[in-house]
């Protein structure tokens, strides 16, 4: 690929060769992720629109200030930073699994896929705790116990958007974990060794990184702004 890309004189659209130079399934995964990006984009932009249309909004430093086993200690953004770190780390193990797949190293792929799955489950566990904690404080769809920055009463827009968008993202993480488990079983059964390549791991990897990518935006929109 390096040579063909560098040569530059390639006439990609004259037929007889793959104009995108990737396998069909991978290209379709990219297009699926594009459509998913627009779905998440629509969610986050509608959140932004409603927030721009509101006079006040709750302070994330007040809402997201709890950490498991720390009682009522005021530790803003600490827990969500742990969640972010877990997701970034699981993205790294996913890339390493793809790298092992390039080397056709079945054991290596399995090792890193297991680590990626553990990372995904840890993230889901953290999110379950966070939802549970907020629910105990009285937050849920249609209910918002938090006041705005300036002490004025907040509408339920904040909790509705928070639970819908983090829930939609969490559901993507769950699907990603299920896909990764299927990939792990297929690797273990030697399916990719028989095929002669590990391109399926790359496609699952694209989806997994996309979930990480969306979290970057969810993190900024809900916890920092």
Partner 1 sequence: METFESVKQSHAEGDGHGFDRSAIWRTFWILLVITVVELIVGMFIAPHFHSLKIWFNVLYIIFTLAKAFYIIAEFMHLGHEIKNLVMTIAIPALLFIWFITAFLWDGNSYKNLKNTYDPYSLERTTTPVQKTAPAHGHEAEKPGAVH
Taking CB under 8 A as the criterion, which residues in 117-156 touch partner 1? 147-153, 155
Cβ-based burial of 16 (10 A; exposed 0-12, middle 13-18, buried ≥19): exposed
Both tokens assigned to 82: 């742990």
39 binds partner 1 (CB under 8 A): no
Q: Please choose, from the candidates 160, 168, 144, the residue with its C-alpha nearest in 3D space to the C-alpha of residue 58.
A: 144
- Token pair 């986050």 is found at 44
Cβ nearer to partner 1, comparing 163 with 198: 198
Residue 27 touching partner 1 (CB under 8 A): yes
CA distances from 210 to 33, 90, 129, 225 (A): 7, 12, 23, 22
Binds partner 1 (CB under 8 A): choice among 202, 203, 204, 222: 202
What span, in angstroms and rounded, lies between the C-alpha atoms of 93 and 198? 16
115 binds partner 1 (CB under 8 A): no
* Minimum CB distance to partner 1 smaller for 22 or for 121: 22
Using the rule CB under 8 A, which residue among 32, 36, 81, 157 binds partner 1? 81
* Nearest distance in Å: CB 167, partner 1: 21
Contact set for partner 1, span 172-201 (CB under 8 A)? 196-197, 199
Q: Considering only 73-81, 132-140, 158-166, 172-180, which stretch makes contact with partner 1 by CB under 8 A?
A: 73-81
Q: What is the sign of the dihedral through the CA atoms of 49, 50, 53 and 58? A: negative
């Amino acid at each position: 690929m390096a040579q063909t890309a560098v040569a530059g004189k390639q006439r990609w659209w004259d037929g007889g060769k793959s104009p995108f130079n990737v396998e069909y399934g991978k290209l379709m995964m990219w297009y699926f992720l594009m459509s998913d990006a627009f779905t998440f984009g629509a969610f986050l932009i509608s959140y932004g629109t409603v927030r721009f249309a509101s006079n006040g909004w709750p302070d994330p430093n007040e809402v997201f200030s709890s950490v498991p086993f720390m009682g009522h200690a005021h530790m803003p953004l600490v827990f969500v930073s742990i969640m972010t770190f877990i997701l970034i780390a699981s993205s790294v193990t996913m890339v390493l699994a793809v790298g092992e797949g390039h080397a056709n190293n079945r054991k290596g792929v399995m090792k890193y896929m297991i680590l990626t799955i553990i990372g995904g489950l840890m993230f889901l566990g953290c999110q379950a705790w966070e939802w549970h904690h907020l629910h105990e404080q009285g937050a849920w769809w249609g209910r918002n116990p938090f006041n705005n920055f300036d002490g004025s009463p907040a509408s339920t827009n904040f909790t509705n958007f928070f639970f819908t968008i983090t829930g939609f993202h969490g559901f993507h993480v769950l699907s990603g974990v299920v896909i990764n488990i299927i990939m792990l079983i297929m690797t273990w059964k030697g399916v990719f060794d028989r095929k002669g390549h590990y391109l399926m791991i790359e496609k699952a990897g694209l989806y997994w990184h996309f979930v990480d990518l969306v979290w970057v935006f969810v993190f900024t929109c809900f916890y920092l702004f």
